[in-house]
Amino acid sequence: MQPKQSQNPNSRLVVKLVGVVFGMFAFGFALVPLYDVFCDITGINGKTNETAVTYSAPEVDTSRMITVQFITKTTAGMPWKFEARTETVKVHPGELNTVEFYVRNPAIRDIVGQAIPSVSPGTAALYLNKTECFCFNNQPLPSGQEAVMPMQFYVDPQLPEDINFFTVQYTLYDITGTSADVTTESAE
């Protein structure tokens, strides 16, 4: 408490406080992986599996009928035409289904697209199992070409009782030439 003799306690305290500052700076960045892990476990941000799962052939629950709606969207600057061939399907939990999406690149340049799915309500995301999806990879499409992209999925029979309807939205981004564009390598 003697101010003029406190130079040493001062610098010790400063070092500790600066440590807290750096610790909190690191914590800010640590929130990024923590957030992903947390959302992965709880499925609350509507993100679905990013690599294929194998169909475990669970018992099909014919007593329930779930409506799955597919909607599509392109972001600003993405010229592709992108639509769901099937807008809604009614499925039994446990059964394997295939739906198709259509894309056409009307631009005069070749474009690499990336579709990002998002499920609403978010809690349904954990129960949507995709065994095959165009969203697992980049989609390069030369100028003027079109393509039909399949997506195969089943709904986990554990899907909570109160969910009978959910929406899967695909948002298509133009990622040509960005760091996310890995068309040269295999994305699998």
Q: CA-CA distance, 112 to 176, in Å (whole number)?
A: 5
Residue ranges in contact with another protein by CB under 8 A: 1-10, 13-14, 17-18, 20-25, 27-29, 31-32, 35-36, 39, 42, 44-47, 50, 75, 114, 116, 118, 120-123, 171, 173, 175, 178-180
Q: According to DSSP H, which parts of the chain are helical?
A: 7-42
Residue 93 has a CB neighbour count (10 Å cut-off) of 20
Least separation in angstroms between CB 125 and another protein: 11
The number of beta carbons lying within 10 Å of the beta carbon of residue 107 is: 16
CB of 96 to another protein, least distance (A): 27
Q: Find out whether 169 and 135 touch, Cβ atoms under 8 Å.
A: no
Cβ at position 107, least distance to another protein in Å? 17
CA distance 180 to 33: 18
- Nearest-approach distance from CB 16 to another protein, in angstroms: 10
Please, which residue, 44 or 147, has the CB nearer to another protein? Answer: 44
Tell me, what DSSP letter sits at residue 178? S
Beta carbons of 167 and 117 less than 8 angstroms apart:
no
